[in-house]
Amino acid sequence: MLRRRSTDLTGDGGGDGTPLLAVERLEVDFPTADGVVHAVRGVDLELRSGEVLGIVGESGSGKSVTAMATMGLLPRSARIRGSVRYRGHELLRRSEKQLMGYRGKSIAMIFQDPMTSLNPVYSVGWQIAEAIRAHQDVSKEEATRRAVELLRKVGIPNPEERVASYPHEFSGGMRQRVVIAIAIANDPDVILADEPTTALDVTVQAQVLEALGAALHTTHAALLLITHDLGVIAGLADRVVVMYAGRPVEVGTVDDIFYAPAMPYTLGLLGSLPRVDTDGSERLRPIPGAPPSMLGDLRGCPFAPRCPIAEDRCRAVEPELAAVAGEHAGHLAACHLAERVRASGTPLFAATSADTDGDGDGDGGDRRP
Ligand SMILES: Nc1ncnc2c1ncn2[C@@H]1O[C@H](COP(=O)(O)OP(=O)(O)O)[C@@H](O)[C@H]1O
Ligand SMILES: [Mg+2]
């Protein structure tokens, strides 16, 4: 698997210290018939030039709403607070017309289902060429020639012929490669990919991630990679934001998250990851329980009801996201017990009844991404 670790952890957008994309104190509420859904409750993110930032969390944790808010794609009913800046320019509360200039050109998007991004009645080559011509003044012939090159870049065999194919003539994995080709067609600074491999078979997932990695390599774009699957993040991301109940609950490098997790929820996600260093006989351990409803106000740590080590203060006061003691400054966790979790390195989630050998070892400390 391709691994792009940016060595420059302080890399910035324009060389003046401004990050490419900066999300600050983002909050999104949806008024509904049942009450107000607090979908996003204070998200801070910074995406730097050439960086891959992974956002991971169970379904409903607010990942897509964060991404949609960033792109100005939320329904009108959404109440949005905070700030989203691209190269220092505020994107929130901008007109549709102003945002159109950024979408596709500066910031490209890849969604879960390629068929929602592709039009079934046009050839894939036509669609890539149109994407190019929407932002660049080139002839149809030149755009089609570039479309062939882009298809080659994302690993479509025989691109000279396949450029005339229609989406239904491609497999799911090949369609997602076409979407990646469209995303990189205008040399974006930022690619925002929301569950780009979730709809694909496991074997195809790795190939599409490889194509995404190759696309990043040629464009030098930064990537915001959203997924519910830590396994997807492992090979590609530089830094990871773990989200729960609409907030980041742990932030760190890939190594922090995989080798030194400090938030019980992160340990839970790691436990539900297939291990590559065992023979596969060890069962996965899903986190028991379900995420909280985002209707109404939460009290205490939203993970406390599912947390095996929760104490009274966890149920009373929601912990702030703060630096983990003894770790480097970029490793943050929202947990009253972060230091204890970080130091213990032991699995918190006992093996379920499906764990036939019942040893419950799970020595999470040496898990390999
Ligand atoms: N348009 C909407 N109206 C009301 N609630 C919404 C809307 N969109 C998303 N939500 C709610 O916001 C929360 C976060 O959703 P989402 O960001 O899609 O989660 P995920 O992390 O799975 O991408 C969920 O509780 C979801 O039901
Ligand atoms: Mg989502």
Distance 62 CA to ligand 1 centre (A): 6
Using one digit for the tens of pLDDT, what is the confidence trace for 170-183? 999 999 999 999 99
Report the C-alpha gap between 302 and 60 in whole angstroms: 13
- What is the reported pLDDT for 346? 63
| Residues 189, 287 within the same domain | no
In a domain, 144, yes or no: yes
What domain count does the chain have? 2
Beta strands 222-227 and 79-86 are unpaired
Higher pLDDT, 272 or 101: 101
- Domain end among 237, 272, 292: 237
In a domain, 256, yes or no: no
Give helix then strand counts, H and E, for the chain. 13, 12
Closest-lying ligand 1 atom to the alpha carbon of residue 40: 14
Cβ atoms of 151 and 178 closer than 8 Å: yes
In a domain, 12, yes or no: no
| Residues 341, 270 within the same domain | yes
Higher pLDDT, 65 or 101: 65
- What is the reported pLDDT for 16? 62
Using one digit for the tens of pLDDT, what is the confidence trace for 335-352? 999 999 998 866 677 654
Over residues 121-141, the mean pLDDT reads 96
Phi first, then psi, for residue 56 (nearest 5°) are -130, 150
Higher pLDDT, 293 or 4: 293
In a domain, 3, yes or no: no
Would the pLDDT of 368 be above 60? no
| Residues 171, 36 within the same domain | yes
Using one digit for the tens of pLDDT, what is the confidence trace for 139-161? 999 999 999 999 999 999 999 99
Ligand 1 binding pocket mutation candidate from 56, 64, 71 (most atoms within 8 A of CB): 64
At 240, is the secondary structure helix, strand, or coil?
A: strand
Q: Where are the beta strands (DSSP E) in the chain?
A: 21-32, 35-47, 52-56, 79-86, 89-90, 107-110, 190-194, 222-227, 239-244, 247-253, 322-323, 332-333
- What is the reported pLDDT for 274? 58
Ligand 1 binding pocket mutation candidate from 65, 71, 225, 230 (most atoms within 8 A of CB): 65
Alpha helices in 77-123 (DSSP H): 96-100, 114-117
Distance 138 CA to ligand 1 centre (A): 39
Cβ atoms of 146 and 185 closer than 8 Å: yes
- What is the reported pLDDT for 2? 46
Distance 64 CA to ligand 2 centre (A): 4
Please indicate whether residue 120, judged by its CB atom, sits closer than 6 Å to ligand 1. no
- What is the reported pLDDT for 297? 84
- What is the reported pLDDT for 347? 66
In a domain, 151, yes or no: yes
Please indicate whether residue 244, judged by its CB atom, sits closer than 6 Å to ligand 1. no
CATH number of 219's domain: 3.40.50.300
Please indicate whether residue 40, judged by its CB atom, sits closer than 6 Å to ligand 1. no
DSSP-assigned letter for residue 295: B
Using one digit for the tens of pLDDT, what is the confidence trace for 276-300? 555 555 566 778 899 999 998 889 9
Domain carrying residue 216 = 21-237
What residues does 191 pair with on adjacent strands? Answer: 108, 223
Using one digit for the tens of pLDDT, what is the confidence trace for 182-214? 999 999 999 999 999 999 998 899 999 999 999
Distance 275 CA to ligand 1 centre (A): 30
Q: Is the dihedral of CA 122, 124, 125, 129 positive or negative?
A: positive
Percent of the chain with pLDDT over 90: 74
Higher pLDDT, 8 or 288: 288
| Residues 67, 206 within the same domain | yes
Would the pLDDT of 353 be above 70? no
What residues does 31 pair with on adjacent strands? Answer: 36
Please indicate whether residue 61, judged by its CB atom, sits closer than 6 Å to ligand 1. yes
Average pLDDT, the chain: 87
pLDDT grade for 269, boundaries at 50, 70 and 90: very high
Cβ atoms of 261 and 250 closer than 8 Å: yes
| Residues 26, 96 within the same domain | yes
In a domain, 187, yes or no: yes
| Residues 281, 220 within the same domain | no
- What is the reported pLDDT for 110? 95
Residue nearest to atom 20 of ligand 1 (CA): 60
Would the pLDDT of 226 be above 50? yes
| Residues 180, 57 within the same domain | yes
Rg (CA), the chain: 21
In a domain, 167, yes or no: yes
- Residue 287 corresponds to which tokens in the numbers above? 């986190």
In a domain, 320, yes or no: yes
Helix or strand (DSSP H, E) at 124: helix 124-135
pLDDT grade for 3, boundaries at 50, 70 and 90: very low
- What is the reported pLDDT for 359? 39
Please indicate whether residue 64, judged by its CB atom, sits closer than 6 Å to ligand 1. yes
Please indicate whether residue 37, judged by its CB atom, sits closer than 6 Å to ligand 1. yes
| Residues 347, 305 within the same domain | yes
Using one digit for the tens of pLDDT, what is the confidence trace for 103-120? 878 999 999 998 889 999
| Residues 82, 210 within the same domain | yes
- What is the reported pLDDT for 132? 96
- What is the reported pLDDT for 19? 92
What residues does 295 pair with on adjacent strands? Answer: 37
Report the C-alpha gap between 288 and 306 in whole angstroms: 6
| Residues 354, 220 within the same domain | no
- Domain end among 186, 204, 237: 237
